[in-house]
Amino acid sequence: MGAGLAAAAVSLGVTELVAAFFSPAADARTSVGTAVINLTPGPVKEWAIQTFGTSDKLFLAVMVIVVIVAVVSVAAIWERSRIPLGSLAIIAGAVAGAAAVLDRPGAALLDVLPTAIAAVSGIAVLRFLTSTQAGDMTADPDRRRSLLTLSFAGLGALTGLGGSLLTRQRRSVAGDRDAFALPETATPAPPIPADVQPPGSAEIGLPTFITSNADFYRIDTALSVPQLSRAEWKLRIHGMVDREVTYSFDDLKDFQVVDRAVTLTCVSNPVGGNLISNAMWTGYRVRDLLQRSGVQPDADMVLSTSVDGFTVGTPVEALTDDRDSLLAVGMNGVPLPVEHGYPARLVVPGLYGFVSATKWVIDLELTRFDRAQAYWTKLGWSAKAPIKTGSRIDVPRNGQRLQPGPVTIGGVAWAQHRGIKAVEVQIDDGPWQPAVLGAAYSNDTWRLWTFEWPAPAGEHTITARATDGTGVVQTADVAPPPPDGATGWPSISVNVG
């Protein structure tokens, strides 16, 4: 077992170090993790998001390492008893890793070299340690074996740490982002009035109208955050267009810059969940870019592709109507954070992120829904997914113990591109009562709300529901997130007294 752990540590460390000198696709660990994500059935992915939230990728990365260590540990047992089955097991794992590397966008045959070197290193350590264990005739063989095993394990850990630091230094676009000054906005967004926060919202800890970049939710399939500089970035517009066009980042200067506040929502957001955030985005109207290419009348979908190969299908009308869908380059007054799509991403009001919000976008293909499928659609999710009217109770917390007397209940409500007209609160089986709404900023942003409740002693259930700008009330019918968004009324229980 010790020989296997040491061999696994050396293999992982070597691949991390050597891969730093190749393209991002050469990282076998990330490539295998990405392959696992791509091959995982949709319901399992949804379970991972619901269970681990924004830590789902960390969980997967840890599990990949655990599996590698387990395989190499078993290989060590085989190596001692049935030479060379252990080495063959490592070779088989390396072949699988190489296949995952070659499956990544932009991968070249040379990118499998780090995996090959790591396999050779792991086999060498495994053969050395197992042969040493078998033939050790020293006075204290156990101590010598332990020292050798710990030495190799430590060497692997140090090599991996050095490789990780080197990779960050060589590939990081932090300097590129720091050097980027957002372009001057031609049509700034209206100022945000103070009364978007309803009375008492700050005192009870409601979210702020604008979500900070640090607190903005992140859900995507990128196990390793893509690092793409402005000089490397290109946007190709092709397919069912009159003129194929490829834009560099500098070419975007020809287009008008706008600021727009837009609330984004993940389709995996459960009823009353927190996979929703609001930001002020800076960018270029997608319709302006598409007009220059000339969209053909039969095109009804834009298939957008991220630099890591992730695809999204968006209705053409959502990118060409008056909702100001953006190719965003800024978020809350600063360049896009790398994890949120730097240097450019799509922001489309009114649609769940899986059919609109492509990060690190590099390709827009005009096509049709009956000809192409995007990543999540292939897994059974809906091809079109407008955001459903929703609401959330943020305060008090579910299960919280309260004192009898005045209690402020509060939360948020959303119905992007339709707006929120009203929010109502129900205590136990009582009548629905109107909540106080913060000012409406736009139909594309959420609204905060509060409700003053004279809480009597006892166990109570608090339920909320919203009405959108068209007068349609949030449905009480309970449905899970797949295939096009969860429905139902958020409800919590509290104990007063």
DSSP 8-class letter at 179? T
Burial 454-486 (b: 16+ CB within 10 A, else e): ebeeeebebbbbbbbeeeeebeeeeeebbbbbb
The C-alpha atoms of residue 107 and residue 330 are separated, in whole angstroms, by 29
Q: pLDDT at residue 134 above 60?
A: no
The C-alpha atoms of residue 242 and residue 64 are separated, in whole angstroms, by 46
Same domain, 39 and 124: yes
Around Cβ 2, how many Cβ atoms within 10 Å?
17
Please check whether residue 401 lies inside any domain of the structure. Answer: yes
pLDDT of residue 73: 67
Please check whether residue 72 lies inside any domain of the structure. Answer: yes
pLDDT in tens, 170-186: 668 999 999 999 999 99
pLDDT of residue 109: 87
Residue scoring higher pLDDT (10 or 333): 333
Q: pLDDT at residue 148 above 80?
A: no
pLDDT in tens, 363-421: 999 999 999 999 999 999 999 999 999 999 999 999 999 999 999 999 999 999 999 99
304 strand-pairing partners: 312, 364
Least confident of 85-94, 201-210, 459-468, 486-495: 85-94
Around Cβ 212, how many Cβ atoms within 10 Å?
12
The C-alpha atoms of residue 349 and residue 288 are separated, in whole angstroms, by 16
Distance between start and end Cα atoms, the chain: 57
pLDDT of residue 31: 79
pLDDT in tens, 31-43: 787 777 777 776 7
Q: pLDDT at residue 448 above 60?
A: yes
The C-alpha atoms of residue 412 and residue 415 are separated, in whole angstroms, by 11
- Identity at 268, one-letter amino acid code: S
Triad 82, 83, 85: Cα angle to 5°: 80
Residue 450: which CATH number?
Answer: 2.60.40.650
Residue scoring higher pLDDT (13 or 438): 438
The C-alpha atoms of residue 270 and residue 267 are separated, in whole angstroms, by 8
Segment 322-350 shows an average pLDDT of 98
Same domain, 345 and 254: yes
Nearest 5°: phi and psi at 445? -125, 160
Contact 460, 279 (CB under 8 A): no
Domain final residue, candidates 347, 378, 409: 378
State the sign of the Cα–Cα–Cα–Cα dihedral 360, 366, 369, 370. negative
Same domain, 247 and 322: yes
Contact 287, 295 (CB under 8 A): no
Q: State the chain's mean pLDDT as an integer.
A: 89
Report percent pLDDT > 70 for the chain: 89
Same domain, 142 and 16: yes
Please check whether residue 111 lies inside any domain of the structure. Answer: yes
Same domain, 478 and 398: yes
pLDDT of residue 56: 66
Residue 312: which CATH number?
Answer: 3.90.420.10
Q: For residue 61, give its domain range.
A: 2-171
Same domain, 220 and 94: no
pLDDT of residue 82: 57
Split at pLDDT 50, 70, 90, the class of 17 is confident
Q: pLDDT at residue 45 above 70?
A: no
Contact 472, 389 (CB under 8 A): yes
pLDDT in tens, 178-207: 999 999 999 899 999 999 999 889 889 999
Please check whether residue 176 lies inside any domain of the structure. Answer: no
Same domain, 61 and 15: yes
Contact 308, 220 (CB under 8 A): no
Q: Which residues contact 232 (CB under 8 A, 6 or more apart)?
A: none
Please check whether residue 179 lies inside any domain of the structure. Answer: no
Please check whether residue 189 lies inside any domain of the structure. Answer: no
The C-alpha atoms of residue 490 and residue 17 are separated, in whole angstroms, by 48
264 strand-pairing partners: 277
Contact 252, 182 (CB under 8 A): no
Same domain, 15 and 163: yes
Please check whether residue 361 lies inside any domain of the structure. Answer: yes
**Nearest-CA neighbor of 348 among 374, 375, 324, 325?**
325
**Nearest-CA neighbor of 478 among 349, 355, 388, 356?**
388
pLDDT of residue 70: 72
Same domain, 290 and 431: no
pLDDT of residue 29: 74
Same domain, 6 and 154: yes
The C-alpha atoms of residue 10 and residue 69 are separated, in whole angstroms, by 11
CA atoms within 13 A on the CB side of 70: 6
Same domain, 397 and 458: yes
Segment 3-21 shows an average pLDDT of 78
pLDDT in tens, 261-320: 999 999 999 999 999 999 999 999 999 999 999 999 999 999 999 999 999 999 999 999
Domain final residue, candidates 332, 352, 378: 378
pLDDT of residue 194: 94
- Identity at 243, one-letter amino acid code: R
pLDDT in tens, 194-243: 999 998 898 899 999 999 999 999 999 888 899 999 999 999 999 999 99
Give how many domains the chain has, as a whole number. Answer: 3
Contact 148, 3 (CB under 8 A): no
**How deeply is 125 buried, as exposed, middle or buried, from its count of CB atoms within 10 A (0-12, 13-18, 19+)?**
buried
Please check whether residue 188 lies inside any domain of the structure. Answer: no
Same domain, 314 and 218: yes
Strand runs labelled E in 348-404: 361-367, 390-395, 401-402
Q: pLDDT at residue 55 above 80?
A: no
Residue scoring higher pLDDT (127 or 494): 494
pLDDT of residue 75: 64
Domain final residue, candidates 353, 378, 403: 378
- Joined tokens for residue 491: 């409800």
Q: pLDDT at residue 83 above 80?
A: no
State the sign of the Cα–Cα–Cα–Cα dihedral 244, 249, 253, 256. positive
